[in-house]
A and B are shown apart, each in its own frame.
Chain A
């Protein structure tokens, strides 16, 4: 109960500008800020990020942020730039321009190793599993457990894999088989297990429920709530408005590589969000970004 009242208080602050912000935002097009739960410093702050492939600006001066224990839904068409923006954060792409802060400090993310070292874990839409090796090998890919001789400790890794998979997917038994032989849901749980097993601070989920049935989708929902309570910040990229409205606290809509607007989920309707996605129209309840249609936003 206390939690919901805190959230209401947070949404009320939308009207008045936030004074307690330590790092003033100098980003153009950025209005008063939605500040959840009275926390000051965002966990992640991506400022003015740009990246171009050839002549195409996939992300064009986009700024987003994320607070601890918050789920931010990232919405947009195919090609809106949301996956690209998030790949900049996970280290898969190197940005051309912009700054990334974690807890207010600027960080360097040039490759996936950097991102992981900072506690940023990603569940990719394609799952990014090595299909020919088993679940434990995928779980520990890139940070294998080693014996005192420096060799792979397969038994320990399998043991840990059994524990974590037992929590996520209790019916999972096929530890000896390459993941290519697993079902879509099982592969997804391996990918999720890999992201949450290493004490992530920030979790990026790119279409996490795309390959799942209703029951498994509900499980992912439960998991997201559980991770939220642990104070992990989550970026949720999804096509599915229902998912975002069910799971996210706040949403950011992108169009043509630019941020259309940011809004608390409670302050906008699904139709309004659709309008943001399709036309770039920013409704009253949202804070317009640089990508919003000017006349409507004004």
Chain B
């Protein structure tokens, strides 16, 4: 039963990402700011930090699977989210080995991950001509608000999810520490 918790939670986050913008006041979106929720990525980073062992790659598997689902459900172009989320989670999984797992590391990895993923998405979409936004405009209008909003989400999610993830991880891999 426990093995279904993570995919189920991720699916719920995927669904709620579609109505995320309704929660924000309209003046904020209609104006010039573009706020993109990367909630799935935030959750994947937490999985990678607290659930995965060094030798298991569940976070990357879920990154590819749910990245693909994001692509199909919310965009026209398949593969962009799958690729960027996959690579970013892979990198985070690698960095995690050198750092201790605590609150600040999770926060730092969250900021780094969201920044890297959003820049990656910007580059790929720019390359295939989805948008024609200049780098400076992108930096101010999209990247900064996106990072801030996602870090807020991470701070809210962290205390709820961390103990659960550690427990499930222990149950699954039978960690003796």
Partners in one complex: no
Q: A residues near B, CB below 8 A?
A: none
Q: B residues near A, CB below 8 A?
A: none
